Chain A
Amino acid sequence: AQSVTQPDARVTVSEGASLQLRCKYSSSVTPYLFWYVQYPRQGLQLLLKYYSGDPVVQGVNGFEAEFSKSNSSFHLRKASVHWSDSAVYFCAGQNTGGADRLTFGKGTQLIIQP
């Protein structure tokens, strides 16, 4: 079974609306979690990360994510999206067992409608 799941392959949101991208993780990853963003024809850029402490973490460009141990989730949120947020977003978790490996979800394509 997939150890990091992004259930939505594509999400469409109107500009100015709020956003939530979902991510669930299994016990095969540690609670060290990341969100990356990929703009067209570019590499992945780190948006934010969670290691410990406050379950709500702030990232760049107004993004935040909330870690929930009880729900095994790490959902990404933004209060008001801009057209420039159109991209593919990847959730990733650090594998258990060391080696500093990451397991990625399949990604969610975010489409911003004018």
Chain B
Amino acid sequence: EAAVTQSPRNKVAVTGGKVTLSCNQTNNHNNMYWYRQDTGHGLRLIHYSYGAGSTEKGDIPDGYKASRPSQENFSLILELATPSQTSVYFCASGDRLGVNYAEQFFGPGTRLTVL
């Protein structure tokens, strides 16, 4: 069954530490996305990728880096974690279903707490 998985599912980090969130998809989709979800904000796009080796900035990229080493894997990196980055992070994969429209499929989320 096609799926998007994330690891870890829960993470506690210290301020100033480095955090890497990992995402793997078996959908063979070209596009992958990282979102964060906060109360009152819905989902906001951090970074996305069109394929292996590609990363693009989303709407709130500051303080985050991304890496897409392969079609299947997409990582989100917090080089210097801050308490404001405490959130739930979702990875998604997606692809074109027609000429103009696309669809996204989401992972289960990673709950990150930065102390």
Contact = CB atoms under 8 A, between A and B. Distances in A.
B71 to A, nearest CB: 16
A41 B44 CA distance: 18
Interface residues of A, number: 22
B42 A104 contact: yes
Chain B interface residue bracket vs A? 20 to 34
A99 interface: yes
Contact of A43 (B40, B45, B101, B107): B107
A32 B107 contact: no
Nearest to B35: A104
A11 interface: no
B108 A104 contact: no
A49 B103 contact: yes
Nearest to B44: A104
Q: By CB atoms of chain A within 10 A, which of B44, B98, B103, B107 has the most?
A: B103
Interface of A: 30, 32, 34, 36, 41-46, 49, 51, 90, 94, 99-102, 104-107
Interface of B: 4, 31, 33, 40-45, 48, 56, 58, 90, 92, 94-98, 100-109
Given A45-B106, A104-B44, 17 more contacts: A42-B108, A42-B109, A44-B90, A44-B92, A49-B103, A51-B101, A94-B101, A100-B94, A100-B95, A100-B104, A101-B45, A101-B58, A102-B104, A104-B42, A104-B43, A106-B41, A106-B42
